[in-house]
C-alpha cells in the first residue's frame, strides 16, 4: 500500500456556463473515515459529489482515487473501482421491484457475490422487497439508493442529504448504519444540513461557501469560525 | 437467465416456426405470408430498440433498404451464395448503424427525427440518377437470376426466429435487466455499474442488423425492386403502429400486433388505402391516449404477465 489517501482532490473546479460553482476544491479522505460536507444552499455540495462520482466532469484540477487519476472516467467505471453514491432527490428504478433494484447493482457493480437479502436487511427494506420501488416513500427511496450503492461493494460512499425529513429516531438509526459502514473500512462523504446528525457521526467537516472551501476541521471549530458564520448567516 | 429462464422464449420461437412452416400448406398465398412475416420481423426488430431502450427510430426503414441494396449488390457483383449476400445485407446495415451511432446521443424526438432524416438521405442517394450504374438509380435493382420464393421464405422465417430469440433474451436475461434499469434511470444505471453506452449500442446494432437481414431477404424474394419499395416511410410507420398496438417491451406483443394489423391491412387496406390510413391515424391517437402499452397491457392489467 502506498501512503496515498483513498480519495484526493486537488484544485478541483467546475463552472456551468459562466457560473463558477466550485473553485479550487482540495481535500482528501482516508478509508473508514466519515467526512461531513456542509454549506448553504447552492454552495456546490451536490456538484462536488457529481464530480467525484463522474456524473459531471471537472473543468480543472485532479481527482485521484487510490492514487490514480479518475477524472473523465465514466460513472460505471468509477462504480467498478468502488466509488458510489446516493442522490439528494432519490433515483430508484421506479418500475422495478425493490429487490430487483439491489440485484441490478449486485450483478453489474462488479461484486457478484453480494447478497441482496443482507443489503435489504441493512437498509431496513426487507419487508418491502417485493413491491415496486416507485411505491416507496421518498425516505425509503433514499435508503434504496444507499442499498444499491452498497450492493456494488463500495470503498467510498457519497451520501447526499439522506437525513432530510426524518424524525430523530430514524436519524439515529441511519447514524448507526453509517458508522457501521465506516467501521467496515468504507470511507464516507456525508452532505447534510442537520448539524446535530453530523456531529454524531463525525468530527471532521468541510465547509463550502459559494463554491469555495471556507473551512476544514472539527464541527465545533467550524461553528466558531467567522467565515463560516458569515456564509451561513450573511449568505 | 432469471425467473422462468429461457423457456417462454423457446416456446414462442418453436410455435412461430411450426406455424409458419405449416401455413403455406394450408393457405396457398405464400407471397402474402412472406409479406406478413417481413412485417413481423420489422416490428420485432423495431421493438428491440424501442421496447428495450426507449429510442424510437422513425427511420428504421433505412436499415431495411440498406440491407436490400447491400444484398443485391453482393448478388450482382460477387459469386457468394445468396445466403451469404443476405448476411452481407445485415452487416451492411450494421455498418450504417455504426456510422449513425452518434445519433444515440440525441434524446427523444430529436433522435427519432434525425434517424428519419438519415433514412431519407439514404433513399435520395441510392435513387439518384447519377448513381444509376451502381444502384440502378430510380429504376432500382434486378437480381432475378437468384429468384427463389421457397428459400427466401425459409430465410425470412429464420430471421423471424432470430429476432424473436433476441427479444426473448432481452426480456429474460441479466443483460435485459440492465436495459430495463437504463431506460428507467440512466444515471442510476451507470452508478449500478452498467455500461449504459455499450449496452445501448449493442441493441442498436442488433436492431439494425435484423432490418438489414430482412431487407436483403425481401429483395431476394421480390428479385426486382424500385428504391421506394424498400425505403418507403410507410414501412417505418407500419412497424411503429404494429409494435405500439401489440405492446412494446414484450416478446409476443409485436408479433400479435404485426400479424393482426397486417391481415387487417390486407383485408381492407389495399382496396381502400385512404380509409386505411385514416384508421391507422385514429388507432395511433387512441393507443397513445388509452392503451400506451398496447393490447397486451389489457392482459397485464388483469394480472397476467405477458411475455
Ligand atoms: N447541471 C447544472 N447546470 C447548471 N447549473 C447547475 C447545475 N447543477 C448545479 N448548478 C448550480 O450550481 C450551484 C451549486 O449547486 P449544488 O446543487 O451543487 O448546490 P448544493 O450545495 O448541493 O445545494 P443544496 O443544499 O440546495 O442541495 C447552484 O447555483 C446550482 O444552480
Ligand atoms: Mg445539493
- Which cell numbers in the block locate residue A139? 425516505
pLDDT of residue A104: 96
What ipTM was predicted for this assembly?
Answer: 0.94
pLDDT of residue B139: 94
Q: Please report which confidence band the pLDDT of residue A10 belongs to, taking 50, 70 and 90 as the band edges.
A: very high
Chain position carrying cell 430529436: B110
CATH of the domain at A76: 3.40.50.300
Residue A101 lies in a domain: no
C-alpha separations of A110 from A149, A232, B192 in Å:
12, 41, 9
* Nearest chain A residue to B178, by CA: A104
Residue A185 lies in a domain: yes
Q: Average pLDDT for residues A88-105, to the nearest whole number? A: 96
Length of chain B: 307
pTM for this prediction:
0.92
pLDDT of residue B100: 97
Q: DSSP states of A75-124 as a string? A: HHHHHHHTEEE--SS----TTSBHHHHHHHHHHHTT-TT--HHHHHHHTT
Domains of chain A: total: 1
Low-confidence ranges of chain B (pLDDT < 70): 1-4, 269-270
* pLDDT higher than 60, residue A206: yes
Residue A96 lies in a domain: no
Interchain contact A84–B (C-beta under 8 A): yes
Interchain pair A53, B180: CB under 8 A: no
Domain range for A47 is 7-82+154-233
Q: Please report which confidence band the pLDDT of residue A212 belongs to, taking 50, 70 and 90 as the band edges.
A: very high
Label residues A137-164 b or e (16+ Cβ within 10 Å = b): eebbbbbbbbbbbbbbbbbbbbbbbbbe
Residue A71, φ and ψ in degrees, nearest 5: -70, 140
Which range, of A5-14, A192-201, B58-67, averages the lowest pLDDT? A192-201
Pairing of strands A34-38, A205-209: parallel
Task: Yes or no: say if A79 and B190 are a contact pair by the CB < 8 Å rule.
Answer: yes
Residue A135 lies in a domain: no
Which of ligand 1's atoms lies nearest the C-alpha of A49? 18
Contact residues on chain B for A79, CB-CB shorter than 8 A: 190-193
Residue A100 lies in a domain: no
Q: Average pLDDT for residues A83-110, to the nearest whole number? A: 96
Interchain contact B179–A (C-beta under 8 A): no
Residue A159 lies in a domain: yes
Interchain pair A100, B197: CB under 8 A: no
pLDDT of residue B286: 86
Tell the residue nearest (CA) to atom 18 of ligand 1: A44
* pLDDT higher than 60, residue A235: no
Residue A196 lies in a domain: yes
Contact residues on chain A for B193, CB-CB shorter than 8 A: 76, 79-80, 105, 108-110, 152
Contact residues on chain B for A153, CB-CB shorter than 8 A: none
Distance of CA B164 to the CA centre of its chain: 11
**A9 C-alpha to center of ligand 2: Å?**
19
Tell the residue nearest (CA) to atom 31 of ligand 1: A42
Amino acid at each position: 500500500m502506498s501512503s496515498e489517501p483513498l480519495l484526493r482532490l486537488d484544485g478541483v473546479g467546475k463552472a456551468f456556463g459562466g457560473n463558477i460553482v466550485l473553485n479550487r476544491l482540495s481535500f482528501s479522505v482516508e478509508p473508514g473515515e466519515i467526512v461531513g460536507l456542509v454549506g448553504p444552499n447552492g454552495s456546490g455540495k451536490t456538484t462536488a459529489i457529481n464530480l467525484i462520482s463522474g456524473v459531471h466532469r471537472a473543468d480543472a484540477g485532479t481527482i485521484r482515487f487510490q492514487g490514480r487519476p479518475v477524472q473523465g472516467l465514466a460513472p460505471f467505471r468509477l462504480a467498478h473501482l468502488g466509488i458510489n453514491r446516493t442522490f439528494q432527490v432519490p433515483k430508484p428504478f421506479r418500475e422495478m421491484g425493490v429487490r430487483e433494484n439491489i440485484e441490478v447493482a449486485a450483478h453489474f457493480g462488479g461484486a457478484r457475490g453480494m447478497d441482496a437479502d443482507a443489503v435489504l436487511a441493512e437498509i431496513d427494506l426487507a419487508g418491502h422487497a417485493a413491491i415496486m420501488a416507485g411505491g416507496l416513500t421518498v425516505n425509503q427511496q433514499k435508503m434504496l439508493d444507499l442499498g444499491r450503492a452498497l450492493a456494488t461493494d463500495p470503498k467510498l460512499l457519497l451520501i447526499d442529504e439522506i437525513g432530510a425529513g426524518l424524525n430523530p429516531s430514524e436519524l439515529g438509526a441511519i447514524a448507526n448504519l453509517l458508522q457501521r459502514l465506516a467501521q467496515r473500512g468504507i470511507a464516507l462523504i456525508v452532505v447534510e444540513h442537520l448539524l446535530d446528525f453530523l456531529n454524531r457521526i463525525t468530527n471532521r467537516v468541510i465547509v463550502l461557501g459559494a463554491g469555495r472551501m471556507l473551512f476544514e476541521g472539527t464541527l465545533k471549530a467550524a461553528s466558531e469560525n467567522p467565515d463560516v458564520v458569515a456564509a451561513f448567516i450573511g449568505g | 437467465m432469471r425467473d422462468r429462464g429461457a423457456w417462454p422464449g423457446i416456446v414462442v420461437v418453436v410455435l412461430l416456426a411450426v406455424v409458419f412452416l405449416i401455413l403455406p400448406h394450408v393457405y396457398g398465398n405464400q407471397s402474402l405470408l412472406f409479406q406478413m412475416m417481413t412485417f413481423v420481423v420489422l416490428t420485432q426488430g423495431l421493438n428491440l430498440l424501442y421496447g428495450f431502450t426507449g429510442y424510437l427510430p422513425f427511420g428504421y426503414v433505412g436499415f431495411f433498404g440498406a440491407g436490400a441494396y447491400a444484398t443485391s449488390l453482393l448478388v450482382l457483383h460477387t459469386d457468394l451464395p445468396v445466403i451469404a449476400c443476405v448476411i452481407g445485407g445485415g452487416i451492411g446495415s450494421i455498418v450504417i448503424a455504426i456510422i449513425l451511432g452518434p445519433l444515440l446521443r440525441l434524446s427523444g424526438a430529436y433522435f427519432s427525427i434525425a434517424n428519419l432524416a438519415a433514412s431519407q438521405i439514404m433513399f435520395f442517394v441510392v435513387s439518384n440518377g447519377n448513381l444509376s450504374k451502381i444502384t440502378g438509380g430510380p429504376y432500382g435493382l434486378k437480381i432475378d437470376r437468384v429468384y427463389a420464393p421457397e428459400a427466401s421464405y425459409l430465410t425470412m422465417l429464420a430471421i423471424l426466429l432470430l429476432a424473436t430469440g433476441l427479444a426473448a433474451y432481452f426480456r429474460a436475461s441479466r443483460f435485459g435487466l440492465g436495459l430495463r434499469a437504463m431506460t428507467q434511470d440512466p444515471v442510476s444505471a451507470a452508478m449500478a455499474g452498467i455500461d449504459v453506452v455499450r449496452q445501448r449500442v449493442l441493441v442498436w446494432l442488433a436492431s439494425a442488423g435484423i432490418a438489414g437481414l430482412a431487407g436483403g431477404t425481401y429483395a431476394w424474394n421480390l428479385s426486382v425492386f424500385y428504391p421506394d419499395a424498400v425505403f418507403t416511410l410507410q414501412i417505418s410507420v407500419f412497424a411503429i403502429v404494429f409494435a405500439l398496438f401489440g405492446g412494446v417491451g414484450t416478446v409476443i406483443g409485436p408479433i400479435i400486433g404485426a400479424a393482426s394489423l397486417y391481415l387487417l391491412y390486407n383485408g381492407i387496406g389495399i382496396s381502400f388505402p385512404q380509409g386505411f390510413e385514416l384508421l391507422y391515424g385514429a388507432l395511433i391517437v387512441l393507443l397513445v391516449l388509452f392503451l400506451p402499452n398496447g393490447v397486451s397491457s389489457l392482459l397485464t392489467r388483469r394480472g397476467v404477465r405477458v411475455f
